[in-house]
Amino acid sequence: MADGNIKMGNMDTIQTTKHFSIAHRLNKRLRIIVPSLRKDRERAYILQILLLKREGVKSVNITPQIGSLTIVFDPEKLPFVNLLHLLDAVIANIGVQPREALKSLKRDKNYSDKSAQDFVIGVGDMSCASCALYLEMILQRQPDVLHASVNYISETARIKTYLPKDKLFKIIADNGYQGFSIDSLAERKLLFDLERKHLHKAKRQILTLSKLSVPVWLLSAIGSKSRTLLLIQAVLAGAAIIGGGRDIFKKAFNQAKRGAAEMDSLVALGVGAAYIYSIPALFRPSRHVYFDAATAIIDFVTVGRYLEELAKNRAVQDIRKLVNLQPHQATLLKDGKELKIMAEQIEIDDILLIRPGERIPADGEVIKGLSSVNEAMVTGSAMPAIKEPGHKLYDGSINGSGVLQMRATATGKDTFLSGLIHMVDQAQASKLKIQKTVDSVASVFVPSVIVLSGATFGGWLLAGERVAHALSNAIAVLLISCPCALGLATPAATMVGTGQAARRGIYIRNGEVLETAASIDTVLFDKTGTITEGIAEITDLFNISDFDDERLLQLAASAEFNSEHFLGQAIVRYAKERGMEIEESSQFHNAPDRGIRAQIGDSQLLLGSDLWMKQHQIDLTPLKATSKKLAQQGKTLVYLAIDRRAAALFAATDTIRPNARQVVEHLHQAGIDTWMVTGDTELAARHISEQVGIVTVYSEADPAKKLALIRQLRESGHKVAMIGDGINDAPALAAANVSLVIDKGTDIAIEAADLVLLDGDIGKIADAIELSENTLSIIKQNLTWAFGYNAIAIPFAVAGKLNPAIASAAMALSSVSVIVNSLRLNRKK
């Protein structure tokens, strides 16, 4: 049906589509081709966003390279004919002609077809939260930027883009800011050095400004109309404004050239108007002057930003502590000599010497020595770990009293510590839904304030007041209305919340989870490796085959050797402990949460659950009585079939995590329902669930069933958190409102999770939910203060009840108060 003509129902009605063709149609699914959107990623994504806002459209998947869209819809809410009309209308608006903004862009053909990359980069020279919002808008407008989020508190930007870093840095520099790489810990340390220098410079600037401003204030207090004294005021005030406000005026000018405005624009307008209005007084001494007000505005803004910087430094102290865990130097062993090198010079396979009390400078493996290592700051584990040859070492951990030699296995941005910091960066750069709403308000707030200031000036003139009085009130409106407190309300709390989470061993991959987790009402636990330790021991072997126990165990271990499942590894360990050799297998196939299939010599083996055996039509009747008895003891069962006949039954036990029952009780007290979802049998699952206090058990669940359960719960209105550890949990983790995984889980499970719980501690799930609730509470307090401040202060300024100096001081303190309030999260335990 590439011509776009389709037949509708029994009425044989022909519906013609003008701007797309229909590639495939099902009852609730439609795939179309839009020629005008081919290779146009930006407008394809715009179309996806517009369609998702329509009632009845459930999902839209796009393939911009060929201009393809697949739409899943509800025919009852959006009949098919209506959907076609909708598509034609929307595509007509965005798909036929490029937007004007795209006409002049020269796209780089060398990168347009490459996969998008997700960067976290440092951003310097931002003076307030409005700078972050402005820069974010500039980045979002780039056709090769899919998503951008800029965080003023952490001075970072998270950008998903097809552009290389150097082009991102150029865009940022062209708009008056500085972009730089923060991939390695060494680069992060340089960023902290820049922050310290910036603070020191700001402090010196305040001292210089005070020397210029105090004489201006004193001369103003004298009230003399002497032309000489007025000239001295003008010169000193001009020096203060140029010295302290140079960056403010520069950014305001750059934004004005682009037709934009933010906080610096308001300050520049206020200061500029006050100073320029006062200049004629040098020739007409009877005229009122605002030299003191102009300098006071600059002074208060500068002091306010300095206080903001101090508060910001406290807000980022947790991530700074993480970065500073890595030592500056390391001892390299080479050709029998000890060489001192910088940590960033370490290479893979370098042999390093770690003396007592030193920090581990890279990830690695112990090759010689015995010592205890404190990993508390990295993994959250309070107990030192004993390390000997073969054990892993993590960058940033502290060696105890022994001497270790280690081989470096990961350096730079690839270390475990760097990965944790990158997760924190991603979380802090994420936008919460509530913040997106605030940003929408803030984006129109500044232009509205400028209009309101002009109206205030005109209104007072019409009321018969002098120009000086009207101007004073207009300037007060500009200054008191600064949206910085509004812009800081959410990122400040998010910054402190994610830092506090990291301190507790909870690493957040997606910052939005801080908002979502507060509404969780149902938590689903995987059993194996989550509620239990995931370290199984084989306790029973029931053999009904023609092979003796040793040969049968050797076959089973050889088949399971390539499996990552903890039960398979338990069988392998059980065989190796008995001195058996592993034979080569072929035709290995793994079905997550069900079992494996492999060929060993002439024998075809199946190992797995009873569902796996039933799927292959294996008769388990000879094993039924024994399996029931072992399952009632809470043991996990693995069936073995050889050449399509039941051959044996393995039984394994797995230790329940020490704090599992306490976690479940804590969640119940908080009004949160708990479920256990597992691929194990009903009997084995019930045995474990009763010990930890979980009532609802969903057993014999493969990945598809776990996924279906979560979707069912979400469709019924529940907010669901899923906690797991394995490959089989990845689909369910991705589908949950909030997903948590323990750090000992598989890489694919960790990639699908929102939060990573270090040290295998599921007790941290209660901490994560509590921290989420506290963070959301602080965000609401901040927003209430920010909105309330403007709602109360603006009418006073319009009514002429605030002078510009007081307005600028109040504006500065409002931003500081939001950060200080956010820091209270550090006191909540």
Catalytic positions: 526
Place of tokens 């209430």: 784
Phi-psi sector, 526: left (phi>0), alpha (psi -120 to 50), beta = beta
- Whole-number Å distance between alpha carbons of 313 and 191: 12
The torsion region of residue 449 among left (phi > 0), alpha (psi -120 to 50) and beta comes to alpha
CA-to-CA distance for 541 and 569, rounded, in angstroms? 15
Cα 627–chain centre separation: 45
Nearest-angstrom CA–CA distance, 259 and 266: 14
Of 786, 742, 738, 736, residue with least CA distance to 762: 742
Residue 194: enclosing H or E segment and its boundaries?
A: helix 185-222
> For residue 337, how many other CB atoms are within 10 A of its CB?
7
Any bridge partners for residue 399, and if so which? 373
**Contact indicator for 648, 608 with CB cutoff of 8 Å:** no
Residue 125's nearest CA partner among 270, 250, 279, 268 is 250
Judged on CB neighbours under 10 Å (0-12, 13-18, 19+), 293 is buried
Q: CA 114 from chain center: how many Å? A: 24
User: In which order are the strands placed within the sheet that holds 404-410?
Assistant: 337-342, 329-334, 351-354, 404-410, 363-369, 392-393
Cα separation of 316 and 492, whole Å?
A: 9
Alpha carbon of residue 164 to chain centroid? 21
**525 near 694, Cβ under 8 Å?**
yes
Cβ-contact 2, 23 below 8 angstroms: yes
Q: How far apart are CA 494 and CA 485, in angstroms?
A: 14
- Residue 282: both structure tokens together: 């040098």
Is residue 175 within 8 Å of residue 136, measured between CB atoms?
no
CA distances from 163 to 15, 67, 169, 170, 425 (A): 41, 21, 10, 11, 20
640 and 607 in contact (C-beta within 8 Å)? Answer: yes
Q: Which tokens in the block code for residue 436?
A: 């997106």
Q: In what order do the strands lie in the sheet with 29-33?
A: 21-25, 29-33, 68-73, 57-63
Beta-carbon contacts of 829 under 8 Å, excluding residues fewer than 6 positions away, are none
426-to-460, 482, 808 alpha-carbon distances in Å: 49, 28, 34
Please name which of 419, 649, 685, 659 lies closest in space to residue 538, comparing C-alpha atoms: 649
